[in-house]
Amino acid sequence: MSGLTTVAATVCACTIVAALLSHFVTDGSMKRLMQLIMGAFVVCAMAVPVANAVGAAAADWQTVLPEEQAATADEAVSREVLLLTKQNLEQVMADILAQNGYPVKKSEVTLALTDKNRVTIAAAVLTIGAAYADAREEIAALVERHFAVTPQTAVE
């Protein structure tokens, strides 16, 4: 609240000074130039408290989020992205197999990060019904063709 009071007091003081100065200038081209200069002065007077407030807010932000907490937040986002990627891959794998006539009961994907920050599929596990036990090789071939990983297949 004190910041708002400071801004209001500064703007009022600048406006009063500008009004007083405008009374001392004679009419003509000089008056227009003085009005332009005083208008710029008032705008700058309003900008300084706002800039100070933004600077203070930025300093507060640095206090609230030190580098360790920012790293933790980045790690949390990375974990969330990996989880969503895993869920999407599991769903796509199940959908592709269902489109080819092999509905699966459950698909699980294990992701791995490479040293170049790339995500790869480390392993895939499929749970299929007993009616599709004879099609294990075809299912494995489909998954290997689409996802470049040989799945482990469990029959339920």
Q: Render pLDDT for 103-143 as a digit per residue (tens, 0 to 9).
A: 999 999 998 877 777 888 889 999 999 999 999 999 999 99
Q: How many structural domains compose the chain?
A: 2
In terms of pTM, does the model score above 0.75?
no
Same domain, 89 and 23: no
Residue 21 scores a pLDDT above 90: no
Domain edge (last residue) among 36, 64, 92:
64
Both tokens assigned to 72 = 């933790």
Regarding whether 111 and 58 lie in a shared domain, the answer is no
Categorize the per-residue pLDDT at 54 as very low, low, confident or very high, splitting at 50, 70 and 90: low
**Do residues 65 and 76 lie in contact, with contact meaning Cβ atoms separated by under 8 Å?**
no
Residue tagged 């459950």 (tokens): 106
Among 90, 121, 88, 118, CA closest to 104 = 90
User: Considering only CA atoms, which of 102, 107, 80, 79 is closest in space to residue 91?
Assistant: 107
Q: Are residues 74 and 52 located together in one domain of the fold? A: no
Do 89 and 129 lie in a common domain?
yes
Q: Can you give the pLDDT at residue 141?
A: 93
pLDDT at 60 over 70: no
Domain end marker among 64, 96, 113: 64
Could you tell me the residue range of the domain that residue 20 belongs to? 2-64
- Determine the pLDDT at residue 48: 73
Residue type, 99: Q
Alpha helices in the chain (DSSP H): 2-24, 29-64, 67-99, 136-147
Contact by Cβ (8 Å): 97, 103? yes
What's the pLDDT score for residue 65? Answer: 52
Amino acid occupying residue 132: Y
Compute the average pLDDT of residues 37-59: 72
Pair (57, 91) in one structural domain: no
- For residue 66, name the pLDDT band (cuts at 50, 70, 90): low
pLDDT at 105: 92
pLDDT confidence bin for 62, thresholds 50/70/90: low
Single out the residue of 14, 29, 152, 15 nearest to residue 93, CA to CA: 152
Given a contact cutoff of 8 angstroms between Cβ atoms, the answer to whether 104 and 118 are in contact is no
> Do residue 87 and residue 141 come from a single domain?
yes
Mean pLDDT computed over every residue of the chain: 81
Same domain, 147 and 89: yes
On whether both 100 and 133 belong to a single domain, the answer is yes
